[in-house]
Structure 1
Amino acid sequence: MEKQQSTAGLPTLPVSTLFAMTFGFFGVNMAFSLQSSQMGRIFQTIGADPTKLGFFFILPPLMGMLVQPLVGKYSDLTWTRFGRRMPYLLVGAPIAALVLVLLPNAGSFGFGYASLAALWFGAIAVLFMDLSSNVCMQPFKMIIGDMVNEEQKDFAWSWQQIFSNMGGILATLMPFIMTGLGVANTAKKGALPNSVIWTFYLGAAVLLLTSLFTVAKVREYNPQDYARYHGVDVAANQEKLSFMALLKSAPQAFWQISLVQMFCWFAFQYLWTYGTGAIAQNVWHVTDPSTASYQAAGNWFGVLSAVQAIAAVLWGMVLAKTKPNQRKFMYRTGLILGGLGFVSVFFIHTKLLLILSFCLIGIGWISMNSIPFALLTTALAGKHEGAYLGLFNCSICLPQIIASVASFAIFPLIGKSMPGMLLLAGIVLACGALFVGRIKEQPTA
């Protein structure tokens, strides 16, 4: 490893190390982007009732809420020659890759259109995919808190999200690209087209390769160096506390940021659930998933998701230069712009104008995925940091579950309008900006 200079406790890391610890998110988010951009399409294609879509979208956040706190807590206590966080990545990545191969084949095993077997196979595949993907994701978040000093923190979180969104660009564009190359974008009723299936296969390969790259290149601190850099006792990171005890001693910022995140993730859950259907209804004027027009709308939603990711990458370059005293202003601005993007989808009925909507959504997306972690890790003292980051994931997962359950009542109430669900999502996201000012930042102890 290149020589490191010590700055304010934690060393100043060379760019090569920052690259290695953030690049792996390219593959992890390719998996999550395939799930978020294609789940609605997958389940409607295999025959799920649109009024029941919320059920299938409960499973991923439920897994995240259960898995990430456990990975955080137990990896805090895992000190091995392979590292502290990396062993979990070595376990999670191969399992996630396997499930990526299985998920798009939910309609290809002869279960029958709209059969319980096909729907349950898809649901269980999604459950295991999110479980393993969360095991992969958590180490990437925790090593930044473990290893990156305050001066480099905004840079590192922004880089992680830039690579994350680059993976999202590849994931969401590939069905469209494959269709353009002549790969079939239609299939027999109840089965996913090859353009989607082969994209998932590519995602599995990329996830494995990028995760192994991070494992090979990142050398985590040993217990003594970690304690010295963070100013804590070595024994502090071997202390076993219950989640309840950790929550009781959580810094104030933990709860304040979590409140804002509740609004953010409620909104994005509806984008993933109803985005394809909203675009099919507004632009193609179809609601039948078995039609070529609906599948074309699915491809266009993938393109728009890539636009969202590109906008996020570009905005991430701006956020990478954010000073600590500018974080809340940039957070609030991002949420307001993202909310406007959601609301505009309801009113737009042409393909190209939706590009502007998803540019604004992309700004909101990277703002809520980078700035909160910079704020939170500043408020933590390096003690039980993995456990707290895992618990903080509940503020990401719980609103998705609430949104999915609420959709059973809200969707029929608004006339089963998928564009209407995105209008509601935009209002909720913008409301989250109202609570950003209440966040009280605390310096790392």
Structure 2
Amino acid sequence: MDKPRQGFAGLWNISFGFFGIQIGFALQNANMSRIFQSLGESLDDLAVLWIAAPLTGLLVQPLIGHYSDRTWGRWGRRRPYFFAGALFAALALFGMPNAPGLLAAAMLLWMLDASINVSMEPFRAFVGDMLRKDQQTAGYAFQTAFIGAGAVIGSATPFILDHLGVGNAAPGGGIPDTVRCSFYLGGAVLFLAVLWTVLTTREYSPAELTAFEGHEVGEHDVPPVPPASTIGGLAWVLAGVVIALVVALLGAEKELYLLGGLVGFYGVARLVAGALYQRGSTDNVLTNIVGDFSGMPPIMKKLALTQFFTWSALFIMWIYTTPVVAQYAFGSADPASEAYNQGGNWVGILFAGYNLVAAIVAAFVLQPVARAIGKVWTHVAALLCGAAGFLAFMVVRDPYALLVPEIGIGIAWASILAMPYAILASSLPQKKLGIYMGLFNVFIVVPQLLVATVMGTIVRHFFPTEPVWTMAFAAAVMVLAALSMLRVKEEAVDVGA
């Protein structure tokens, strides 16, 4: 027995909520550096304030994945998480433009990213829940098209409002009205779009999913905590201590203590999970998450390295594009100046550009190319296009000409949001789809944390007044992502719509 084939309306309803989520995500990506600098933060400290976002994802997504796998009620398995996340994300978007200072803005960013993660993680598993294997590439491509469309609207809204006469520079500094109104509109659309998916979809019941499992449950259904958990846990704790000592001895940036703390925390989690497992407590959240992480399928481990490099490059772009464009294309590094704020608006257009390209590529290009050359080679080619786009920032200075590099970045973005998940979903057991998708996010979050803790130091010591070099760094890392993808061997599954 296989799942029913979804038509156009079914694919639309399953993915439409991501349209709203991405509007909120795009507003965050394109405007948070601008908000932080408008509230008085310096360029080389921007990365630190962005730590809240990836750290929240690291903690939230595995937990939401674990619990959404085990949830069933009147509203289904994943939809309660969609709704709750959307509600709190909307509230954070309404509150962000009114933040009285940097601390409040950072806390609201934390709330916003946590809420977006609560909604976003189950959406990835939702595609796997609702679609048969031969439709999963189509499902993730459809989802990517909505992501691109939402990001275009979210990124371009401040620019559009500016041209409609809304104030784009606050007297005496502060957050301009274009950003305020954009966040208010984004919060409303995010909530309504997710509500559409909640109200128009019906999830398969546990009995129905059980009937489908004969086709989908694999050997990794219930991975145990490995016997070496104690030794491995001690090794991770020791590694965390060593990182902290090196930071202290070298007088490195104190933010690096966070990296050591996370490494040590994982070691402690392994030790506790191992002790619980030995006592027969095998069905608790910690034992399950650590066990699933240790027992993840080999293809997920290989994709993890690609994700690490890919999202390192993307996070550099999101943090530093605004200061790069404002300084090199608009001639100002002063956040209070009109030129800088014009540059900030133009970054919204650039981000809208790459998301528009991603939406078009996802809708019309990804599936036929993947069918012709395979999902792995499609992703390799797309990542190389992204690297070329980043590198172009080193030489392009005209604001309109900067739209050309966004084509390459958009091609990469389309593939990043679809291909790894399409490859992964066909290799995962249905009962563990949520937790594995959540754990897969670890390899998105960890590189962002690394960038957030290290990149400020690199900028400060090597190019404190030339942020454009961050784009060269991003290009090199994206090339490494493409090379690492060559290690992945995809399962032979039809990629038809």
TM-score under structure 2 normalisation? 0.83
Aligned residues of 1:13 and 1:148 also touching (Cα < 8 A): yes
Residues 268 and 425 in structure 1, CA contact (< 8 A), matched pair in contact too: yes
Instruction: Give the aligned residue type for 1:400.
Output: Q
1:188, distance to aligned residue in structure 2 (A): 2.4
Once the two structures are TM-superposed, the CA of residue 304 in structure 1 deviates from its matched residue by: 0.6
Tell me how far apart the structure 1 counterparts of residues 126 and 283 of structure 2 sit (CA, whole Å): 19
Distance 1:413 1:336 in 2: 28
- How far apart are the structure 2 equivalents of 1:443 and 1:356? 35
1:114 aligns with none
Report how far residue 190 of structure 1 moved: 3.7
Q: Aligned residue for 1:78?
A: 71
Q: 1:139 aligns with which of 117, 122, 147?
A: 122
1:18-417 equivalences in 2 (<5 Å): 18-106=11-99, 109=100, 118-231=101-214, 242-316=288-362, 317-321=364-368, 322-323=370-371, 326-416=374-464, 417=466
Verify the 8 A CA contact 1:165 1:309 in the aligned structure 2.
Answer: yes
CA shift for structure 1 position 18: 1.0
Residue by residue over 1:217-236, the C-alpha shift from the partner in whole angstroms, topping out at 9 and shown as x without a partner, is 11000011111112278xx7
Contact 1:275–1:301 (CA under 8 A) maintained in structure 2: yes
- Give, in whole Å, the separation in 1 of the partners of 2:121 and 2:491: 23
What TM-score, normalized to structure 1? 0.92
C-alpha separation in 1, matches of 2:156 and 2:6: 34
Secondary structure of the residue aligned to 1:288 is coil
Q: Is the 8 A contact 2:376 2:489 kept in 1?
A: no
Counterpart pick for 1:425 among 461, 470, 474? 474
Residue by residue over 1:320-345, the C-alpha shift from the partner in whole angstroms, topping out at 9 and shown as x without a partner, is: 33329610111000100000000101
Is residue 44–residue 457 contact of structure 2 (8 Å, CA) maintained in 1?
A: no
Is the contact made by 2:314 and 2:474 (CA closer than 8 Å) also made in structure 1?
yes
Counterpart amino acid of residue 326 in structure 2: A
1:440 aligned counterpart, secondary structure? coil
In the TM superposition, residue 163 of structure 1 has moved relative to its aligned partner by 0.5
User: Any conservation in 2 of the 1:252–1:440 contact (CA below 8 Å)?
Assistant: no
Question: Equivalents in 1 of 2:88, 2:149: separation in Å?
Answer: 22
Query: Is the 1:258–1:395 contact (alpha carbons within 8 Å) kept by the matching residues of 2?
Result: yes
1:350-408 CA-partner distances (Å, limit 9, x unpaired)? 11210101111111111111100001111112131100000001111111010111113
Give the CA deviation at 1:443. 6.4
Q: Aligned partners of 1:443, 1:364: CA distance in 2, in Å?
A: 23
- Segments of structure 2 that go 5 or more residues without pairing to the other structure are 223-281
Shift of 1:14: 2.2
**Runs of at least 4 residues off by over 4 Å:** 236-241
Show the counterpart of 2:485.
436
Distance 2:128 2:378 in 1: 21
CA contact (8 A) 1:378 1:443 kept: no
Name the aligned partner's letter for residue 177 of structure 1: I
Contact 2:376 2:490 survives alignment (8 Å): no
Task: Indicate if the aligned counterparts of 1:253 and 1:442 stay in contact, CA closer than 8 A.
Answer: no
Q: Take 1:144 and 1:303, find their aligned partners in 2: how far apart are those partners?
A: 30
- Counterpart of 1:131, as a letter, is A
Letter in 2 for 1:402: L
Is the contact made by 2:16 and 2:143 (CA closer than 8 Å) also made in structure 1?
Answer: yes
Deviation at 1:16, TM superposition (A): 1.2
Aligned residue in 2 for 1:113: none
- Return the alpha-carbon distance in structure 2 between the equivalents of residues 332 and 413 of structure 1: 33
Q: Helix, strand or coil: the match of 1:380?
A: coil
Indicate yes or no: 2:7 matched with 1:14: yes
Range 76-85 or range 322-331, more displaced:
322-331
Cα 1:65–1:215, aligned 2, differ >3 Å: closer, same or farther? same
Contact 2:375 2:490 (8 Å CA) reproduced:
no
| Distance (whole Å) between structure 1 residues aligned to residue 133 and residue 373 of structure 2 | 12
Q: Kindly provide the amino acid, as one letter, of the partner of residue 318 in structure 1.
A: V
Deviation at 1:167, TM superposition (A): 0.5
**Displacement, 1:239?**
6.5
Q: CA deviation at 1:414?
A: 2.5
Distance 1:359 1:104 in 2: 30
Q: Distance in 2 between matches of 1:315 and 1:124?
A: 35
The answer on whether the counterparts of 1:39 and 1:272 sit within 8 Å (CA) in structure 2 is: no
Residue matched to 2:233: none
Letter in 2 for 1:95: F
Counterparts of 1:314 and 1:89, CA distance in 2: 26
User: CA offsets, 1:272-298, max 9 Å, x none?
Assistant: 111010011111221100000000000
Distance 2:149 2:375 in 1: 23
Cα RMSD (Å): 1.7
